[in-house]
Chains A and B, each alone.
Chain A
């Protein structure tokens, strides 16, 4: 028996100036299945989903929903056909309540005013029937990432969607939240919803999806049953070649200490101690991995080293000098490179051209400056060489950073920092939200600079990345370093229990 087809996209083509985002894409999604769409960043997954959701109009091709041919010119029309989308960057207004965010655009009315009581009861009903735990009157700004995602899902269900599109839903979640999300998705599937799931974390895709469609460079590569492939095979389909891995090559670590923290304490945003008496040393040619559930002081650790946050106690010795009171600029110029966690907010000026972005943080030194003036041609040449050397795929250095895919943006940021020849590189989640190919390039680069004697402080939520890359691992919990591990005999599971402060021997973790 063949189940009915919920959505079918045939020959979808979408061109943007200079790029073909989708080139004759075919996808067929059966009713009641979880259908994953995988591919590298820039493979055209998001474009395709925006077309299905009516945010973009395709140049060619047909769409059918439940057998009827449709064409959407706005999300409103897609919503009317029972399609809902959970965006990667949440579409929630912080200063409105959960309830307001959910009913916006489809408000229940009573004598001209919003019928708050009806709205609240239907929200609670939805929450209860799908096991989604939400509080209608909370302000969205107070919610955790996982809760925000549940609000997004409720928002879609509230509009009566039978077909849910989720755009990289796990990118922002910690492992426990991912499990909860998958439970919710299975519940939705059990109640007859069709789910289209975009991702590039292949183990997750294999865990949750029934069917997988692989896109590469805007084209459909193939559609397979999840049971018939391995992660390895999927990855090779995605990048069209052999799979890289973050395995460690043997090398020599110096005993020269690049950076030493002694008893460093820092007061956090909420005026409580976010970092308590941290001792840490990073050697020349060493990658020190920092693991921890987000919000346990990793951010403050980085900010303290960079000078973005004043020390409340302790000392920072960098290359033999006490830099504890130095200004950020001076620290950077003395050889600290920084790859920020959020490249959109801290790493790049999205609306500035690449060559301007390439000089951020180095705007006072050669080759970007001559005296107190910017050296335009020097900066452009330097940018060209960063683009070449780090394989930033771009039509030119005059286009804006916004036009690049996430992976290429990240390569530009990393290239910018490494090209300045730092002694210490702070890399915060350097491969977050980028595809396998770019990820491999970043790993390769980090390994290469380590071999050249650079010290790297690697903060990451990707436990495989930490174990695969780091020479030494520390775990942070509640602003303290609670464990130091050798990655060679650590498993993600063991790391996970240190991170949550659970009893390490619990659950029979392999030693």
Chain B
């Protein structure tokens, strides 16, 4: 055996994947012109990123908990705590404190989940559902006590809060360096209208201009999570608790402590996601503004095979559909075309892997979508928001054999068990 150096081949594969994706988007965009111009643009890219961040954070939270062997279906509830505490903190002490307090709020939810599941051995799903029911109750109560008395606030919403601020990258997207406006290189190339190249730079421009500092922090948590979980002793111990807690215990690892830590971190991530929604996305706390993103985050965990990078990809997928439907209703029709093309690509891959049944089914679905696109002018308004869910379902159905969840995920652990 004489393998290609792993790092090299991985980096190469990533680049090919990204280029391929942009190519597909570009081609679809050309096909869909002039119906829409929003399939691939700086605006869509930036919006995708903003929409993806809360889902990403929930996904990272899910990875932390599940890698330690605790299923955290309470992410949604912890996110809700994050929205309220984030808004309250931002209101009282400023936006950065808001983020920190939102994280603390989510972590408190995580602690509750850990006490129930790790400490008392409650079924993980039951505890998670309880937290999801509990969190809106707590926030409603707190709103009535605190926000209702403020101007602009009420029992279902807070007064407006400030954001942590945004940044344009210098030289790349015309950011300022000590008061001097640097050239906007990405933007300039994006405006040339060169096929593929301009599209690529439009995306780059979208994700480097007017970026929230909180977004950057959230993105940094992806490599951060990879580093801690896969490169540090603490991370190895956490993962061992999700794979074989009895073995970990037999080597002197304090399994309970690791699980507590991981679930609290998980809650903190979800809380950050909630705080991001309140402080950065909307600038206000509103009841039920998480809209099930905690659950979608959990889906990205599975979609991403319990890997942070996979969760990032999954969250971008959801973020993209979300952004498209918000920015440009007509673009959604083109999404049919895009999904059709994407499903066809997956189908071809299945066929190449000699999975004829799955491949054929996917191919049929792709054909159906393309046919639908060609004979219609628009789609019913209920469809677009669920497109990514459908895509995820398809991926999950046909890729499950390659997914590998932590071996002891969701199982009750008692010290001294066999």
**Residues in A lying within 8 Å of B, measured CB to CB:** 55-56, 74-76, 79, 85, 87, 89, 91-96, 100-101, 103-107, 109, 112-114, 155, 402
For B32-62 the 0/1 string (1 means CB < 8 A from A) is: 0000000000000000000000000000000
A-contacting residues, B209-233, CB 8 Å: 227, 231-233
A-B contact pairs, 8 of them (CB 8 A): A95-B243, A95-B407, A100-B236, A104-B240, A107-B233, A109-B233, A114-B231, A114-B232
* 16 extra A-B contacts, CB within 8 A, seeds A75-B252, A107-B233: A79-B251, A79-B252, A91-B244, A91-B246, A92-B244, A93-B239, A93-B240, A93-B248, A94-B243, A95-B407, A96-B236, A100-B239, A104-B253, A113-B231, A114-B231, A402-B418
Q: Which of B243, B249, B407, B416 has the most CB of A within 10 A?
A: B243
For B242-273 the 0/1 string (1 means CB < 8 A from A) is: 01101111111100000000000000000000
Instruction: Tell me which residues across on chain A come within 8 A of B231, comparing CB atoms.
Output: 113-114
A105 pairs with B253, CB closer than 8 A: yes
A112 pairs with B232, CB closer than 8 A: yes
- State the total of A-B contacts with C-beta under 8 angstroms: 72
Instruction: Tell me which residues across on chain A come within 8 A of B252, comparing CB atoms.
Output: 74-76, 79, 105-106
Option from B236, B246, B249 in Cβ contact (under 8 Å) with A103: B236
**Residues in B lying within 8 Å of A, measured CB to CB:** 227, 231-233, 236-237, 239-240, 243-244, 246-253, 404, 406-407, 416, 418
Instruction: Tell me which residues across on chain A come within 8 A of B416, comparing CB atoms.
Output: 55-56
B232 pairs with A106, CB closer than 8 A: no
B404 pairs with A92, CB closer than 8 A: no
B237 pairs with A104, CB closer than 8 A: yes
Instruction: Tell me which residues across on chain B come within 8 A of A56, comparing CB atoms.
Output: 416
Instruction: Tell me which residues across on chain B come within 8 A of A89, comparing CB atoms.
Output: 418
Option from B404, B407, B418 in Cβ contact (under 8 Å) with A93: B407
Give Cα distance in the complex from A113 to B252, angstroms. Answer: 19
Closest chain-B Cβ to A248's Cβ sits at a distance in Å of: 37
A104 pairs with B236, CB closer than 8 A: yes
Instruction: Tell me which residues across on chain B come within 8 A of A96, comparing CB atoms.
Output: 236, 239-240, 243
* Nearest opposing residue in chain A for B406, CB measure: A95
* Nearest opposing residue in chain A for B232, CB measure: A113
A85 pairs with B243, CB closer than 8 A: no
* Nearest opposing residue in chain B for A91, CB measure: B247
Give Cα distance in the complex from A367 to B277, angstroms. Answer: 61
Closest chain-B Cβ to A99's Cβ sits at a distance in Å of: 10
Instruction: Tell me which residues across on chain B come within 8 A of A91, comparing CB atoms.
Output: 244, 246-247, 250-251
Instruction: Tell me which residues across on chain A come within 8 A of B250, comparing CB atoms.
Output: 55, 75, 85, 87, 91
Q: A100-B236, A103-B236, A107-B233 are in contact. Are A92 and B247 (CB under 8 A)?
A: yes
Q: A94-B243, A113-B231 are in contact. Are A105 and B407 (CB under 8 A)?
A: no
Give Cα distance in the complex from A104 to B249, angstroms. Answer: 10
List the 8 shortest-distance A-B pairs measured between CB atoms, nearest first: A76-B252, A93-B243, A105-B251, A91-B247, A107-B233, A93-B244, A113-B231, A105-B253
Give Cα distance in the complex from A173 to B240, angstroms. Answer: 26
Closest chain-B Cβ to A1's Cβ sits at a distance in Å of: 36
A105 pairs with B243, CB closer than 8 A: no
Give Cα distance in the complex from A388 to B289, angstroms. Answer: 64
Closest chain-B Cβ to A44's Cβ sits at a distance in Å of: 16
Q: A93-B243, A96-B243 are in contact. Are A75 and B251 (CB under 8 A)?
A: yes
Instruction: Tell me which residues across on chain A come within 8 A of B239, comparing CB atoms.
Output: 93, 96, 100
Instruction: Tell me which residues across on chain B come within 8 A of A113, comparing CB atoms.
Output: 227, 231-232
Closest chain-B Cβ to A428's Cβ sits at a distance in Å of: 23
Instruction: Tell me which residues across on chain B come within 8 A of A94, comparing CB atoms.
Output: 243-244, 407
* Nearest opposing residue in chain B for A79, CB measure: B252
* Nearest opposing residue in chain A for B235, CB measure: A114
Give Cα distance in the complex from A349 to B232, angstroms. Answer: 38
* Nearest opposing residue in chain A for B239, CB measure: A96
Closest chain-B Cβ to A291's Cβ sits at a distance in Å of: 31
Instruction: Tell me which residues across on chain A come within 8 A of B232, comparing CB atoms.
Output: 112-114
Instruction: Tell me which residues across on chain B come within 8 A of A55, comparing CB atoms.
Output: 250, 416
Instruction: Tell me which residues across on chain B come within 8 A of A92, comparing CB atoms.
Output: 244, 247
Give Cα distance in the complex from A96 to B416, angstroms. Answer: 22
* Nearest opposing residue in chain B for A46, CB measure: B418
Give Cα distance in the complex from A56 to B250, angstroms. Answer: 11
Give Cα distance in the complex from A9 to B236, angstroms. Answer: 35
Give Cα distance in the complex from A100 to B249, angstroms. Answer: 15
Give Cα distance in the complex from A103 to B247, angstroms. Answer: 12
Give Cα distance in the complex from A364 to B248, angstroms. Answer: 42
A105 pairs with B248, CB closer than 8 A: yes
Instruction: Tell me which residues across on chain B come within 8 A of A79, comparing CB atoms.
Output: 251-252
A75 pairs with B240, CB closer than 8 A: no
B249 pairs with A75, CB closer than 8 A: yes
Give Cα distance in the complex from A100 to B231, angstroms. Answer: 10
* Nearest opposing residue in chain B for A78, CB measure: B252
Instruction: Tell me which residues across on chain B come within 8 A of A109, comparing CB atoms.
Output: 233
Closest chain-A Cβ to B70's Cβ sits at a distance in Å of: 16
* Nearest opposing residue in chain B for A107, CB measure: B233
* Nearest opposing residue in chain A for B416, CB measure: A55
Instruction: Tell me which residues across on chain A come within 8 A of B243, comparing CB atoms.
Output: 93-96
Closest chain-B Cβ to A47's Cβ sits at a distance in Å of: 12
* Nearest opposing residue in chain B for A350, CB measure: B418
Instruction: Tell me which residues across on chain B come within 8 A of A155, comparing CB atoms.
Output: 251
Give Cα distance in the complex from A105 to B236, angstroms. Answer: 9
Instruction: Tell me which residues across on chain B come within 8 A of A105, comparing CB atoms.
Output: 237, 248, 251-253
Give Cα distance in the complex from A76 to B252, angstroms. Answer: 4
Instruction: Tell me which residues across on chain B come within 8 A of A114, comparing CB atoms.
Output: 231-233, 236
Option from A76, A95, A103 in Cβ contact (under 8 Å) with B404: A95
B236 pairs with A107, CB closer than 8 A: yes
* Nearest opposing residue in chain A for B244, CB measure: A93
Q: A95-B243, A113-B231 are in contact. Are A106 and B236 (CB under 8 A)?
A: no
* Nearest opposing residue in chain B for A96, CB measure: B243
Give Cα distance in the complex from A96 to B259, angstroms. Answer: 18
Instruction: Tell me which residues across on chain B come within 8 A of A76, comparing CB atoms.
Output: 251-252
B251 pairs with A104, CB closer than 8 A: yes
* Nearest opposing residue in chain B for A100, CB measure: B236
* Nearest opposing residue in chain B for A344, CB measure: B418
Closest chain-A Cβ to B139's Cβ sits at a distance in Å of: 37
Give Cα distance in the complex from A104 to B240, angstroms. Answer: 8
Instruction: Tell me which residues across on chain B come within 8 A of A100, comparing CB atoms.
Output: 236, 239-240
Give Cα distance in the complex from A85 to B252, angstroms. Answer: 12
Q: Which of B231, B239, B247, B418 has the most CB of A within 10 A?
A: B247
Closest chain-A Cβ to B216's Cβ sits at a distance in Å of: 23
Give Cα distance in the complex from A101 to B406, angstroms. Answer: 15
Give Cα distance in the complex from A74 to B252, angstroms. Answer: 7
Instruction: Tell me which residues across on chain B come within 8 A of A85, comparing CB atoms.
Output: 250
Closest chain-A Cβ to B379's Cβ sits at a distance in Å of: 40
Give Cα distance in the complex from A402 to B418, angstroms. Answer: 10
Give Cα distance in the complex from A416 to B243, angstroms. Answer: 34
Closest chain-B Cβ to A269's Cβ sits at a distance in Å of: 12
Give Cα distance in the complex from A458 to B231, angstroms. Answer: 49
Instruction: Tell me which residues across on chain A come within 8 A of B246, comparing CB atoms.
Output: 91
Give Cα distance in the complex from A281 to B306, angstroms. Answer: 49
* Nearest opposing residue in chain B for A92, CB measure: B247
Instruction: Tell me which residues across on chain A come within 8 A of B249, comparing CB atoms.
Output: 75
Give Cα distance in the complex from A114 to B340, angstroms. Answer: 45
